[in-house]
Amino acid sequence: MAADIDEDWLANLPKVELHIHLEGSIPTAMLLTLASKYGEDLPGPVEKLYEFDGLKSFLEFLDWICGLIRSNDDLESIAYEFARRLSEQRVSYAEVIVNPTHWSRHWTLDRLSEGLIAGFERAADEGLTDCRLLLSLLRTQSSDAAEGLVDWMIANRNPRIVGLSIDGNEQAAGRTGPRFAHAFAKARGAGIATTAHAGESSGPEGVWDALDLLRVNRIDHGVRAAEDPKLLARLAREEIVLNVCLTSNLVLLYPSIELHPLRKLLESGVRVTVNTDDPELLGITLTSEWAKVASLCGWSREDAVATTRRTIDAAFCDEVRKRELHLELDYYLGLENSEK
Ligand SMILES: [Zn+2]
C-alpha cells in the first residue's frame, strides 16, 4: 500500500460492492440459532463447517443454509441484518446476488423476493446500506427454467431488483453459454441489466461466451481472462467491468497471492472492482479485502477513490442514484480535506 493509505482510511471510505452472495454472508451464530430452532443437524462438526472438497459440496452447503430459513420473519431479518453488517463496513450501496435454486425447499420466488425486499426496505428507511437484488441462475439449470426466471422478472419489476446473474460450477456443467443465450437476450430486450460468473471455474472461453452469447454488461470474477491477451484487449476496449474477489480466488484458484493476475488485468487497462463474494464463509470483510488489494497493487488514496467511482458507474441502479453515490463520496473527501 502507498504511504497515504491504511486500513482505517479504507474502513471510513464510503464503499460500493457489486459481487456478494447473500447465501455466503450469513454469520455462523445465526446459522446455529436457526439450526437449533428447527432441530436441523449440522452437515459436519461446527469447526469444519466451512471446509469443502470442491464447488459441488460448497453449493450443497448453500442449499443447507437456505433450508434453515423458513418463516417470513427469518427471511426479513436475514436481509435486514445483512444490510446492517454492510453499514458497519461503511458500504453505501450493494448489489446482492441471490440464487433462488438454493431456496427452493421452502420458498417460491414471490415469497422469497417479497421477504428480502421488505428487509432491505426497512434497512434503507433507517439509513443503512442500500441493498439491491441480482437474481441468479445456476449453470446446471435448463433453458426453460432460465426463461421462467426472466419472465418472472419482467412481470415483477421492482427498483430493488436490478439485474439478472448466473453462477455455479462451469467446470462441472460444461459449456452452457448456448443454453442460456435466449434467456439473457430476453432479459436484455426487456431492459434488464445482466452479469455472469465466468473466467473462474471456466477459463477464458467462459468469458468469451459471456460476452458473445450472453452479451452481459459485467463479469463476476473473469480473472482467467488474463490467460488470453486478445480477450484482455477486448475487455479493456469495451470497458467491461470485472467484479474481482481476491481472497475467494486465493482459496479456489491461485495457490499464492503473487500468482493472482489482478495486476496484469489492471496493467492491461481492464476495469476491476473490489468485492468479497462470500464474506462469512471466507472470514473477510469488504474493508479487509480492500486493504489486501491496495497492498498487492500498491494503491494510493487516489487509486482507491478512482476504483470506487468506477464501481459506482458500473452499478445497475438508475443514474440519479449513481449521482447521489458520487456526491456522498465527494462529501466525504471534502470533509477529509477540510480536516487537514
Ligand atoms: Zn460469486
Which residue's C-alpha cell is 473527501? Answer: 333
Q: Which one, of 218, 223, 210, lies nearest residue 179 by Cα?
A: 210
Q: How far is the CA of 152 from the centre of ligand 1 (A)?
A: 23
Residue 28 has pLDDT above 80, yes or no: yes
Taking a C-beta distance cutoff of 8 angstroms, is the pair 134, 163 a contact?
Answer: yes
Q: How far is the CA of 337 from the centre of ligand 1 (A)?
A: 36
Distance 252 CA to ligand 1 centre (A): 12
- 227: CA distance to ligand 1 center in Å? 20
Residue 212 has pLDDT above 70, yes or no: yes
The CA 277 to ligand 1 mean position distance, Å, reads: 5
State phi, psi for 230 to the nearest 5 degrees: -65, -40
CATH for 7-338 is 3.20.20.140
User: Around Cβ 159, how many Cβ atoms within 10 Å?
Assistant: 10
pLDDT digits (tens, 9 = 90+) for 231-288: 999 999 999 999 999 999 999 899 999 999 999 999 999 999 999 999 999 999 999 9
What sign does the dihedral 227-223-193-312 (CA atoms) show?
Answer: negative
Using left for φ > 0, alpha for ψ between -120 and 50, and beta otherwise, residue 247 falls in alpha
pLDDT at res. 55? 76
- Which of these ranges, 169-173, 291-295, 315-319, has the smallest mean pLDDT? 169-173
Residues 314-319, mean pLDDT to the nearest whole number: 98
pLDDT of residue 122: 98
In the chain, % of residues over pLDDT 70: 99
Supply the mean pLDDT for the chain: 95
CA of 1 from ligand 1 middle (Å) equals: 26
SS (H, E, C) 80-106: HHHHHHHHHCCEEEEEEEECHHHHCCC
CA 47 to ligand 1 centroid distance, Å = 23
pLDDT score for 337: 75
Residue 198 in this model has a pLDDT that exceeds 90: yes
Q: Is the pLDDT of residue 76 over 90?
A: yes
C-alpha span between 94 and 242 (Å, rounded)? 16
**Average pLDDT for 307-328:** 98
Confidence at residue 1, expressed as pLDDT on a 0 to 100 scale = 67
Residue 121 pLDDT class (50, 70, 90 cuts) = very high
Contact 295, 274 (CB under 8 A): no
Q: What amino acid is encoded at 228 in this protein?
A: D
Among residues 159, 116, 109, which one has the least CA distance to residue 21? Answer: 116
| Spatial separation of the C-alpha atoms in residues 38 and 51, rounded to whole Å | 23
Cell numbers placing 214: 450472453
Q: How confident is the model at residue 340 (pLDDT cuts 50, 70, 90)?
A: low
Give 105's pLDDT tier (boundaries 50, 70, 90). Answer: very high
Taking the C-alpha atoms of residue 281 and residue 299, their distance in angstroms, rounded to an integer, is 27
- What is the set of active-site residues? 200
